[in-house]
Structure 1
Amino acid sequence: MRVLLLGGTGEARRLAGLLAARPGFDVVSSLAGRVADPALPPGRTRIGGFGGAAALAAWLAAERIGAVVDATHPFASAVTASAAAAAGDAGVPLLVLRRPGWTEGPGDDWRRVPSVAEAAADLPGERVFLTIGRGGLAAFAGDAHRRYLVRSVDPPEPPLPPRTHVVLGRGPFTVDGEAALMREHAVDVLVTKDSGGAMTAAKLVAARRLAVPVVMIDRPPAPDAPTVPDVQGALAWLDARAGA
């Protein structure tokens, strides 16, 4: 079975490695190309968009894809919607691999909001640690009052808030490192997306230890497709499809 794996996450890389080692599977990993130096998975890799749902459907047919696994970031809603439409048009089964979101625990001070715009509209602090990636930073650009610490894998492009300090980094991060960074910049509010997973969860533990409130941006609505929370679930689904 030839599998199109829409990737860019740690789960996608692990799944690609397992499939590359399993007889009976030919995996093609697709990366959006938004990161300058992406961590490449094992096996065949395709970088760049397909040009919309119709073009992706045609590609699925031409490549004789037997299954599509969407293991993109939980906030890559446009990619997920395009994949769902294309898979439906091409008659190819689609599975969504989504890690569970984060859950507030004892000692946490979280304020959940439905969007980046609502996060920017009502911040409970003056020194803001933004860990939302490069997308969405424009929502904060008009704030000339607060100081912003922005972290991303690649340098963000304008517009940015006038009082911004950028740090570049790729997870996983440590709790001690995150706490030190927050202390260094006197952070009094953390803004992040509910990405889930262990790669970037250390900032939440650090925020709890330092009594820093967290503005947590909720995920977009889940797609109407079979969904599993982990790599083992995706392997079981693919094994079932291959044996059908």
Structure 2
Amino acid sequence: MSMSSRINEIKLDLEDLNSLLENATRQKSKDLISLEIRRLQSELINVQNPVELQDVEMKSAKGVPTGKKCYDIKLNNYAWDQSDNFVKLYVTLNKVESLPKEAVYCKFSDRSMELHVTGLENKNYILPINNLCEAIDTEKSYTKVKTDMIYVYLAKKTKKTWSHITTVEKMLKEAKSNMFKDDTDNLSADPNAGIMNIMKKMYQEGDDEMKKTIAKAWTESQEKKGMGSDLPGF
């Protein structure tokens, strides 16, 4: 079977499986279908990339334009809620339902997720979330696309209520609460210094992943303000 034929076969299989998933009523059936969908999505990416690369190289060699440039955009905004079994993220993107199903996919790990949307009106979108508040089951987590909306279902490993999406958000809130209790006057006098002290404490006591997350957040914040990106006194 040729590469192109295999790609078409996978796409047809994905269409059938997504249709089955929407109509499935038993959770076990949904889990099995979702698992096969993710396997086929991974296979499609692996099969498709060499074909697309070869096509681009052939067009470039002939001096044929390869199309409009796609721009990468990082997403930051999402809404969320939860049930006993899932934490559900809601990501708004106009016309996302117009994309082929394989253009929207999510990479899951035990404590992180990375949503990808490729080729939406010459833009590639990415939503990375690290240091999730609790562990997730990567085999049962999945995405669903509706009109102007992407749903990301993070399957909980334990039926525990999440207070926040990330541990950084949780620690910041707890640290702020403690600071209000222990040092209200100082925080009111200089709230920026208080928040800086919280971040500094989290950076010093956190693991490598926590340090990386805080350093990245600080750098992006300072770049927006046109200031230096060094972590002061960290």
Common fold by TM > 0.5? no
User: Smaller-chain TM-score range?
Assistant: under 0.3
Larger radius of gyration between Structure 1 and Structure 2: 2
Query: Which structure has more helix as a fraction of its residues?
Result: 2
TM value normalised by structure 2: 0.25
Q: TM-score, normalised by structure 1?
A: 0.24
